[in-house]
Structure 1
Amino acid sequence: MRGTRADLRKLLEPGVVALGFELVDVELAGSHHSPTLRVYIDGPAGINVDDCARVSRQLSALLDVEDPLPGQYTLEVSSPGLDRPLVTPEDFRRFIGETIKVKMQPPLQGRKNFSGRLVDVTADHVVVEVDKEHFDLAFDGMERARLVPRFRTSGVTGERDDR
């Protein structure tokens, strides 16, 4: 195993799940000389700093033993944030009716970026409504997909509803 995204996910997921959390996504960022392995986790009650520290300790030990990445790298464990990545079909199903952003590679109908309401999810694609038009976006053509945070003012300046 030499550190592909899928390989890293397969390696790390059991350790995250064993601590009672969900592995949302794994990402390798930075340069070859100074890479960063980002691990996004979530839980039923959300995620706090202590949760991230526990998962980081667990994964650090596992990564030291398995050594899937050559050389030195930085491990970051965090919550997925309000604009959480959508990776698995289950992620998408959970957020049907919400607004998502999807970047396709290669482009679909001459277009790379789609931002609209998630209408449906099948085994191999999602249906996104953009400006009253439906687009079937295949999972294998998605470079990245994220939930678009929804902010609603509640009458008090600065307050928001993050549902």
Structure 2
Amino acid sequence: MNSDSRPAPIENDEPRIVRETGVDARVASIIEPVINSAGYRLVRVRLSGMNGLTLQIMAERADGTMTVEDCEEVSRMLSPLLDVEDPIDRAYHLEVSSPGIDRPLVRLSDFAKWRGQLAKIETSVMVDGRKRFRGTIVDLSGETVTIEADKANFGEAMVAEVPLDAIADARLILTDELIRTALQADKAARQARGLETFENDDDTASDDAEAGEP
């Protein structure tokens, strides 16, 4: 594999429109400035009951790539920070991963990049009489994302304008077209970094952490 350079620090990163609450939000506030300074963007933080208790952190480079080595670097960077800040009062397992192909959509630029792809969106309030949407991303503005759903999804063809500030969760839906588009984009980005492109990485890195200890 060709040598890879460290990413440049990210300054004034585009804010996420889908954000965490509770402990997840506390963790995000601690780690986001640190990984930005190392050239990575935070995608999502989620504390789950998997394997006892798992802190899942999704991150990526500005170009959308995230290798196993990147995940390991971010994990090494965050483990001592989280030990010091101690935002979780129980033992947990730290897992750092790439967003994956059926990735969460958390920034306006995510919706713009994946326009034309199938997505599912959940809102925190009722929009057009519903809180769940599944359809193709067809348009977006500074305030709304337009989803076009077919009859197979909702029983009738419909177009919904979903306010960005009402979105609680959004992610792409895995389709053959999405796989082709995502792999092409990843290949181009990896070539630009001088990386080999034949790997089919499932990019994750993990570490065990004991919280609440001095």
Bin for the TM-score computed over the shorter chain = 0.7 to 0.9
1:107 deviates by 4.1
Task: Quote the residue 2:60 is aligned against.
Answer: 42
1:48 deviates by 1.9
Give me the whole-angstrom Cα distance separating, in 2, the residues matched to 1:93 and 1:45.
14
Relative to the length of structure 1, the TM-score reads 0.79
Q: Which amino acid aligns with 1:37?
A: L
Give me the whole-angstrom Cα distance separating, in 2, the residues matched to 1:4 and 1:120.
33
**Contact 1:37–1:75 (CA<8 Å) still a contact in 2?**
yes
Residues 103, 123 of structure 1: CA spacing in aligned structure 2 closer, same or farther, 3 A cutoff? same
Residues 55, 69 of structure 1: CA spacing in aligned structure 2 closer, same or farther, 3 A cutoff? same
Query: Which has a greater percent of helix?
Result: 2
Give me the whole-angstrom Cα distance separating, in 2, the residues matched to 1:6 and 1:121.
26
Task: Quote the residue 2:27 is aligned against.
Answer: 8
**Contact 1:55–1:77 (CA<8 Å) still a contact in 2?**
yes
Aligned pairs, number? 154
Task: Quote the residue 2:47 is aligned against.
Answer: 28
- What SS does the aligned partner of 1:161 have? helix
Relative to the length of structure 2, the TM-score reads 0.62
Query: Which has a greater percent of strand?
Result: 1
1:45 deviates by 6.3
Task: Quote the residue 2:172 is aligned against.
Answer: 147
What stretches of structure 2 of length at least 5 have no aligned partner? 1-20, 151-156, 183-214
1:120 deviates by 2.5
1:1-163 alignment, distance < 5 Å:
4-30=23-49, 34-43=52-61, 44=63, 46-131=65-150, 132-152=157-177, 161-163=180-182
Please give the root-mean-square deviation of Cα atoms over the aligned residues, in Å. 2.5
Give me the whole-angstrom Cα distance separating, in 1, the residues matched to 2:169 and 2:131.
10
